[in-house]
Amino acid sequence: MGGGLIRSLGGWGQVVSLRRRGIKTAYDDRILGSGEFVEGLLSEADARERETLRLRGRVRDLESFAHRIGKGEGIREEELRSGVRRGKVSRARRLFCQVAVGRVGYPAAQVARFLGVTTSAVVRAAHLESLPEIEKYL
Q: Residue 101 and residue 117: Cα distance in Å, rounded?
A: 14
Write down the pLDDT at residue 57: 65
pLDDT digits (tens, 9 = 90+) for 89-109: 999 999 999 999 988 888 999
Total domains present in the chain: 2
Cβ contact 33:4 at 8 Å: yes
Q: Are residues 85 and 109 in the same domain?
A: yes
Q: Residue 17 and residue 21: Cα distance in Å, rounded?
A: 6
**Class of residue 39 by CB neighbours under 10 A (exposed 0-12, middle 13-18, buried 19+):** middle
Residue whose C-alpha is closest to residue 137's, from 72, 90, 74: 72
Cβ contact 93:101 at 8 Å: no
Q: Are residues 81 and 32 in the same domain?
A: no
Domain interval for residue 13: 4-47
pLDDT digits (tens, 9 = 90+) for 3-37: 555 556 666 666 566 567 776 666 566 666 677 77
Q: Are residues 122 and 71 in the same domain?
A: yes
- Residue 86 forms part of a structural domain: yes
Read off the CATH number of the domain in which 94 is found.
1.10.1750.10
- Residue 131 forms part of a structural domain: yes
Instruction: Calculate the CA 138 to chain-centre distance.
Output: 13
Cβ contact 68:100 at 8 Å: no
Q: Are residues 81 and 119 in the same domain?
A: yes
Q: Are residues 128 and 64 in the same domain?
A: yes
Q: Are residues 13 and 81 in the same domain?
A: no
- CB contact set of 41 (below 8 Å; sequence gap of 6+): 28, 31, 33
Q: Are residues 64 and 117 in the same domain?
A: yes
Q: Are residues 63 and 131 in the same domain?
A: yes
pTM listed for this prediction: 0.62
Looking at the chain, the whole-number percentage of residues with pLDDT higher than 90 is 24
